[in-house]
């Protein structure tokens, strides 16, 4: 299988979505716990929402290209809405995609 530019897009959007979600969680704590940052929370929520839309589309396309089973696709899509899950999913997807795109010659032991 040839490397795909979707993987680079996936990595960038997974990290950006995860960071935006963590920032959004912090703003929600500030808004409801300490009654500050009322207006800024809306903008951070919108940023996370837009990033998640991109993450969702790219993840869906990557899942179709790599022929993921439905459960794997749903977990990876949901990872953008669970704090820290997008970072874990990103590392796992990149590791497995790199193994799938590695040349067959590199998988054979030397001298075989």
> In this prediction, what percent of the chain has a pLDDT beyond 70?
87
Considering its fold, how many domains does the chain have in total?
A: 1
| Strands of 4-80, DSSP E | none
Furthest-apart CA pair in the chain: how many Å?
67
Residue 98 in this model has a pLDDT that exceeds 90: no
Is residue 33 in a domain?
Answer: yes
Query: If you search the block for the tokens 């409801």, which residue do you land on?
Result: 32
Is 7 a domain residue? no
Non-local (6+) Cβ contacts of 49 within 8 A are none
Q: Could you tell me the CA-to-CA distances from 98 to 8, 40, 95 in Å, in that order?
A: 11, 39, 5
* Residue 88, in any domain of the structure: yes
Write the pLDDT tens digit of every residue in 40-81.
Answer: 999 999 999 999 999 999 999 999 988 899 999 999 999 999
Beta carbons of 79 and 14 less than 8 angstroms apart: yes
Per the prediction, the chain carries an average pLDDT of: 88
Does residue 50 sit within a domain? yes
How high is the pLDDT of residue 96?
86
65: domain range? Answer: 26-100
Contact assessment for residue 63 and residue 72, using Cβ atoms and an 8 Å cutoff: yes
Whether the predicted pLDDT of 35 surpasses 70: yes
Residue 46 lies in a domain: yes
Domain contains 60: yes
Kindly state whether residue 82 falls inside one of the protein's structural domains: yes
- Indicate whether 31 belongs to any domain: yes
Q: How does 68-94 read in b/e, with b if 16+ C-beta sit within 10 Å?
A: beeebbeebbebbeeeebbbebbeebe
* 104: pLDDT strictly greater than 80: no
């Amino acid at each position: 299988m040839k490397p795909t530019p979707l993987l680079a897009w996936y990595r960038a959007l997974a990290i950006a979505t995860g960071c935006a979600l963590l920032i959004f969680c912090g703003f929600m704590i500030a808004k409801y716990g300490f009654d500050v940052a009322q207006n800024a929370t809306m903008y951070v929520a919108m940023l996370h929402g837009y990033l998640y839309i991109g993450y969702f589309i790219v993840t869906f396309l990557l899942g179709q290209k790599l022929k993921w089973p439905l459960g794997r696709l749903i977990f990876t899509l949901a990872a953008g809405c669970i704090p820290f899950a997008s970072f874990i999913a990103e590392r796992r997807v990149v590791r497995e995609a790199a193994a799938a795109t590695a040349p067959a010659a590199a998988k054979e032991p030397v001298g075989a």
